[in-house]
Amino acid sequence: MTDGMEERELMELASVSRNNAYSPYSGFRVGAALLTKSGKVFTGCNVENASYGATCCAERTAVYKAVSEGEREFVAIAIKGDSAGFTFPCGICRQVLMEFSPSLKIILSNGNQEIKTFTLYDLLPKAFESEIMSKKGDGDN
């Protein structure tokens, strides 16, 4: 994909990050690994809270870590949940990812280590956009 980073390598980083999930309420762990255009990887896990709505998903943890370190251009995100099937990003995370990279590659893996890929635009067509986003010129959403 970028700098030799392969889909399966990024997925492995997401899987490892899943081990750090703080999910005592749902018992469902999720890990994510976000690859930046500059070739860095930011990982994230879900972080739950006694006040359930304060929970942060793995994908947003990774995005917020990256943005807070000065990165805003993303190439791909790998997502690994505890389920046997593929764990798709929730609607809030899709919108948060859309803010930065409409053409982002979304890499999912199931319990059999099979891989499926999508673009963010596949998963969130006709997204809400602001003029500030469209000035970035990334994608054609």
* DSSP line for 18-72: HTT-B-TTT---EEEEEEETTS-EEEEE-B--SSGGG-B-HHHHHHHHHHHTT--
Tokens, residue 18: 């899943």
Out of 46, 100, 120, 121, the residue judged to bind ligand THU by CB under 6 A: 46
**With binding defined as CB under 6 A, does residue 62 bind ligand THU?**
no
Scanning 5-13, 33-41, 53-61, 103-111 for contacts with ligand THU by CB under 6 A, the matching segment is: 53-61
Scanning 5-13, 25-33, 103-111, 127-135 for contacts with ligand THU by CB under 6 A, the matching segment is: 25-33
- Residues from 93 through 132 that contact ligand THU (CB under 6 A): 93
In the block, tokens 């750090």 appear at 20
Q: Which is nearer to ligand THU, 51 or 130 (CB)?
A: 51
Q: Which is nearer to ligand THU, 35 or 106 (CB)?
A: 106
Residue 14 burial (CB count, 10 A): 30
In the block, tokens 């081990």 appear at 19
Active site residue 59: yes
For the chain, the straight-line distance linking the first and the last C-alpha, in angstroms and rounded, comes to 22
Name the site residues for ligand THU (rule: CB under 6 A). 23, 26, 28, 30, 46, 48, 55, 57-59, 87, 89-90, 93
